[in-house]
Amino acid sequence: MSPIPVGGLVPRAIGDAAELVVRNAKIHTGDPHRPQAEALAVRAGVITVVGDDKDMAPHIGPATKVVDALGRRMVPGLNDAHLHVIRGGLNYVLELRWDGVPTLRQGLAMLREQAARTPKGQWVRVVGGWSAEQFAERRLPTVAELNAAAPDTPVFVLHLYQSAVLNRAALQAAGFRKDTPDPKGGQIVRGRDGEPTGMLLAAPSALILYSTLAKAPVLDGEHRKTSTRHFLRELNRFGLTSAIDAAGGFQNFPDNYSTVIELAEAGELSLRIAYHLFPQTPGQEIDDLARWTEMARPEDGDAWLRLNGAGENLTWAAADFENFTQPRPELTPDYEAEFEKAVRLLMENGWGFRLHATYDETIRRDLTVFEKLAAEGLFPAGNRWLFDHAETVSADSLDRIAALGGAMSVQNRLSFQGEAFLRRYGPGAAADAPPVRAMLERGLTVGGGTDATRVSTYNPWVALHWLVSGRTAGDLALRPPENRVDRQTALAMFTRAGAALTGEEDVKGVLRPGCYADLAVLSDDYFTVAEPDIAHIESLLTVTGGRIVYAAAEYEGLDEELPPVSPEWSPVAHFGGYQAIPRAGITGARQAELLGEAIAESERHRQWRARRGLTPETAIPLTDPCFVL
């Protein structure tokens, strides 16, 4: 690509010219030593200069790409500290996403259209990223509605960790009959005649939901690569440049990791991924962990793909479930013995870990194991470790976590399940779920994430809105101001804290010389946009390692070309991913205010150009000669 001509910045023939310069931006660097800037330069994937526009001239050569941010807000690339990115990528093009869809009516229309183009043998699957509370109708689809929309094509609609709705064809394809027994921890809802109705309930285990989904057809190798690349591009759309993959059920190592490994080897990842390993088979966890500790060590890999440790489960018996429509599960009274073996094995081999723990009851039991090992001098032994989720963690447990050098990763699961949590546990518990401010006040590193794709949406701005506003997707205010965070803190949770959880805080999460050139130029100024509109922000230009990996609006066409979405009938090929909706209507007074702001911004831009001799000092009158007497 030829350099973009920008007035006042004349290319100079120098040997160490930047490969990319982004100028005329309102940069939030995240660096306390220089929190604001106008421009930055990039060479070999690393930031070389951060400063004012005038500082860029010596670094621009004939081949430098110069991008004008047009006065927009730039932030460090976002880092989702808990995202099932590997599993999500393998399935992305097969899924009809209801993320952001405002009405059930629209969702059913999309489903009906998709069923008509889905070939025989394939399923229509709506898998996470939405809640009934986001719909104007405030309800799930019925089995009858799914049967009417798709009489012959199997349809599977997953709702959070709570339930799934299947049409008649999907019940048949999944093999559910009158004599099919309920799996442990799950329920097949039946009618008066004993036949399955099409509703599956997590009671409280979500394994019934995921094991049913696993019966649907999967993609082959090349399609998996295409699917993953398009999913990563979708994440880049929202300014994500890094993610910590939390592994999860039905994500086997090494089989399900081969796609991202091959993409990394080919230089085709557009998102940096630090991944975890999760033992899949109950009773075999210690053997799996022992084998993996002999095969690899955390931080093996490179800046694009690296191992970060074990988890988010170490042993299945120690894992609680997060279906807030059901009572808190009672874990087996003796899980600590095997759990201790797993933790001891990891500590002895230099492996860190992350732990899924929804409830304080689980966290307290886990901490007792850690404290026992600490008394022996074996914990944490210099290894990074953290708790995920922790909606009901207590103040005492947070003190114990801090004493043991742990960290936290919180997700906006209550954006989508907040109403169910409130009904079960009441407003007092909901106000502190999770107690983000209490975590930060203890000096804990607290990473922000989404837990996408099967629960929350992968759009990080929805999570940032939740952190700042305390409101659910259904606009219910759950968390009071004393348990919310300001915008700068929330952004740091999605940038610097995520880097710390992977040991990369020296090179990632801030925009300063020597750090990775990972950044996003935003559609709206995150720091000034109205609070409800935080969730509507997207990136217009996303750069990872100096590569433009997503470009929209004025920058369209600057990003890397991807192969077309395949297969051709893919829902993503026709609907895309997250369904961006217009902001709420604004009043006439607010329109006038915004117009005034736009005029003022235009005048500031004219003055900036005048100071540099690029336009006359006196503003040119904005008159139409047709109206001059």
pLDDT tens-digit map of 118-173: 999 999 999 999 999 999 999 999 999 999 999 999 999 999 989 999 999 999 99
Question: 83-92, 189-198, 562-571, 617-626 — which is least confidently predicted?
Answer: 617-626
The CA distance from 234 to 157, in Å, is: 21
pTM (2 d.p.): 0.91
> What are the pLDDT digits (tens) for 545-592?
999 999 999 999 999 999 999 999 999 999 999 999 877 644 445 444
Instruction: Please calculate the CA angle 585-589-592 and round it to the nearest 5 degrees.
Output: 100
**What pLDDT was estimated at residue 605?**
46
CA distance 365 to 400: 12
Q: What is the pLDDT of residue 611?
A: 59
411 close to 456: Cβ distance less than 8 angstroms: yes
Residue 252 has a pLDDT of: 87
Buried b (16+ CB within 10 A) or exposed e, 563-594: eebbeebbbbeeeebbbeeeeeeeeeeeeeee
pLDDT digits 0-9 by tens, 230-242: 999 999 999 999 9
Q: Taking each helix axis as running N to C, give the angle between helix 285-295 and helix 336-348, from 0 to 180 degrees, rounded to the nearest 10.
A: 0
pLDDT band at 607 (very low <50, low <70, confident <90, very high): low
**Whether the Cβ atoms of residue 378 and residue 389 lie closer than 8 Å to each other:** no
Q: What is the distance, to the nearest Å, from the Cα of residue 495 to the centroid of all Cα atoms in its chain?
A: 12
Tokens of 70: 């047009």
Per-residue pLDDT at 613 = 52
Residue 380 has pLDDT above 70, yes or no: yes
Average pLDDT over the chain, rounded to an integer: 92
Structure tokens at 2: 């030829």
pLDDT level of residue 618 (50, 70, 90 thresholds): low
| pLDDT score for 622 | 33
Query: DSSP letters of 335-378?
Result: THHHHHHHHHHHHHTT--EEEEE-SHHHHHHHHHHHHHHHHTT-
Of residues 3 and 337, the one with the higher pLDDT is 337
Q: What's residue 616's pLDDT?
A: 54
Query: Above 60 in pLDDT, residue 334?
Result: yes
Average pLDDT, stretch 289-297?
94
pLDDT at residue 262 tops 60: yes
Q: What is the pLDDT of residues 421-477, one digit of tens each?
A: 999 999 999 999 999 999 999 999 999 999 999 989 999 999 999 999 999 999 999
- 544: closest CA among 510, 520, 514, 525? 520
Taking only the tens place, the pLDDT of each residue in 387-403 is: 999 999 999 999 999 99
- The CA–CA distances, whole Å, from 33 to 28, 37, 76, 131, 294 equal 12, 11, 15, 42, 42
In this predicted structure, what is the pLDDT of residue 629?
A: 30
